[in-house]
Amino acid sequence: MSSPAIEVRGLRKRFTGRKQTVDALKDVSFSVPSGSIYGFLGPNGAGKTTTLRILTGLLQPTAGDLRLLGETVTYPGGPTLATRRRLAYLPQDPVFPARLNAFEVMELVAELYRLPRRAAAERSQKLLADFELLKDAKRSVKSFSRGMKQRLGLAAVLLPEPDLLLLDEPVSALDPVGRYEVLTRLAALRGRATVFFSTHILADVERICDRVLIIHQGSKVAEGDMGELLARFTPPRYRVRTRPDQVELAAATLNQQQAEGKLPWLLSVELESGAASKETNQEAPALNGDSSVLLVTAQAGRRSEMEAELLRVLVNSGITVLEYSPVRPDLESVFLQLLPETERPGFAEESAEEERDVAANADAQ
């Protein structure tokens, strides 16, 4: 279990069509450690499915070196039979041989992986039960809903106990409970198998992944340890709750001290609702009941300065601090930071909002 489960160097993929060519992957390199849970992120059309199809040998790379489970993958054809016995792939839209029922699908998979018959039958039964498919297991798979197909796909992928699982958006069609259960189940494989899965859902990645790869328009934008990535791309931030009548004072104090050059690390002070910023000292936006929380953000890499000064400054100004806690950074903000500005969701709304603010300020003056 020492060499990486997946190693990709300089992967390129160009689709040459009659009308246009698409560079779906442009020089992507990454490495997935054995036994890790590895998240593969990117917006629609980023190249996630293409990468997985190349890894499984369905598509051929235009350039690049790939190794799976220690074996160099050659094309056309992809991974050798021996390697393929050790891996399992779940496509984005699972399909199964038409006119088979769920039992027969599991049986077919067991035969293709040459699993011992009795043990495989028992395990199939158990997996179908775990994925709540037992009562529909004698029904033609064709009549399954998308979520049921995805669950059957997962059961089929887990059946041979593969060393490497390649999963393309494995929980996209599942309800919240199903999603939680599947993620927990995948997380439990840590150390025993490598799970490489693509998704759009940052919360899922955050919940179970050790490492992540983020691609955008065929290029890698980030790769690395989850914690490191979060630390690197999300500025340190503290959540400060004061007495409700002191929120404005607290914000004003911080902003003023910064203006005086005393808090060089300070990036921003916001009400938790996200409505106000540095300019809280002006007409405060309507404060609702529980808006006594400030989010204080420091510039990247200046956490310790903030930790040394923030609380002291507030207390010295006579502010009663009721709660003071670090905000856990989330992948969402990393992701959004990495995307080109124009593609960030809400980009249009934000700028519209800014304009409105400007107009409001002009009115006030």
Partner 1 sequence: MLLTLMRNEWRQLWRSFQLPALALVLLFFALSDPLLTRYQNEIVQMFVADQKVEISLPTPTAAQALGQFFGDVSQLGLFVLILIGMGIVAAEKENGLTGWMLTRPVTRQAYLGAKVATLMLAVVALLIAGTAIAWAYTGSLLGPVPAGPLVWTLAGVIAYAVLIVAFLVLASTVARSPWSAGGLTILVLFANSLIYALAQQSTVGRFVPYRLIASIGQVLTAADSGNAGLAGLWDLTGPALVTSMLLAALLLVLAFASFARQEIPNG
CB of 304 to ligand ATP, least distance (A): 38
199 is a contact residue toward ligand ATP (CB under 6 A): no
The piece of 46-54, 96-104, 204-212, 308-316 that touches ligand ATP (CB under 6 A) is 46-54
**5, 24, 133, 250: which one contacts ligand ATP (CB under 6 A)?**
24
Residue 58: contacted member of ligand ATP, partner 1, Mg ion, none (CB under 5 to 8 Å, by partner type): partner 1
**Least Cβ distance, residue 222 to partner 1 (angstroms):** 28
Closer residue to partner 1 in complex, CB, 80/299: 80
* Under rule CB under 6 A, residue 340 binds ligand ATP: no
In this structure, are residues 131 and 155 in contact, taking their beta carbons and an 8 Å threshold? yes
Shortest spacing between CB 321 and ligand ATP, in angstroms: 44
236: burial class by Cβ within 10 Å (0-12, 13-18, 19+)? buried
Rounded to the nearest whole angstrom, what is the least distance from the CB of residue 114 to partner 1 in the complex? Answer: 8
Min dist. Cβ of residue 126 to partner 1 (A): 20
Question: What SS3 state is found at 4?
Answer: coil
Q: Which does 19 bind (CB under 5 to 8 A by kind): ligand ATP, partner 1, Mg ion, none?
A: none
Query: Which part of the chain contacts Mg ion (CB under 5 A), choosing from 92-100, 103-111, 137-145, 151-159?
Result: 92-100
DSSP character string of 204-265: HHHHH-SEEEEEETTEEEEEEEHHHHHHHHS--EEEEEE-GGGHHHHHHHHHHHHHTTS-TT
49 belongs to the binding site for Mg ion (CB under 5 A): yes
Choose from ligand ATP, partner 1, Mg ion, none: what does 22 bind? Cβ within 5-8 Å by kind. Answer: ligand ATP
Nearer to ligand ATP, 269 or 334 (CB): 334
How far CA 236 is from CA of 77, 267, 268, 327, in Å, comes to 48, 10, 11, 8
* SS3 state of residue 299: coil
Residue 226: how many other CB atoms lie within 10 Å:
19
CA distance 170 to 15: 25
* CB-based contacts of 30-33 (< 8 A; 24+ apart in sequence): 30/6, 30/213, 30/220, 30/223, 31/4, 31/6, 31/7, 32/4, 32/5, 32/6, 32/7, 32/194, 32/196, 32/211, 33/4, 33/5, 33/194, 33/210, 33/211
User: Which member of 2, 19, 44, 260 binds ligand ATP (CB under 6 A)?
Assistant: 44
3-class secondary structure, 74:
strand
Cα end-to-end distance, the chain, whole Å: 67
Q: Which one, 42 or 79, has the nearer CB to partner 1?
A: 79
Closest CA to 137 of 110, 100, 171, 178: 100
The option from ligand ATP, Mg ion, partner 1, none interacting with 264 (CB < 5 to 8 A, set by class) reads: none
Choose from Mg ion, partner 1, ligand ATP, none: what does 97 bind? Cβ within 5-8 Å by kind. Answer: partner 1
- Given Mg ion, ligand ATP, partner 1, none, residue 42, with its beta carbon under 5 to 8 Å by kind, binds ligand ATP
Query: Interface with ligand ATP includes 50 (CB under 6 A)?
Result: yes
Contact residues for Mg ion, defined by CB under 5 A = 48-49, 92
Contact residues for ligand ATP, defined by CB under 6 A = 15, 17, 22, 24, 42, 44-50, 92
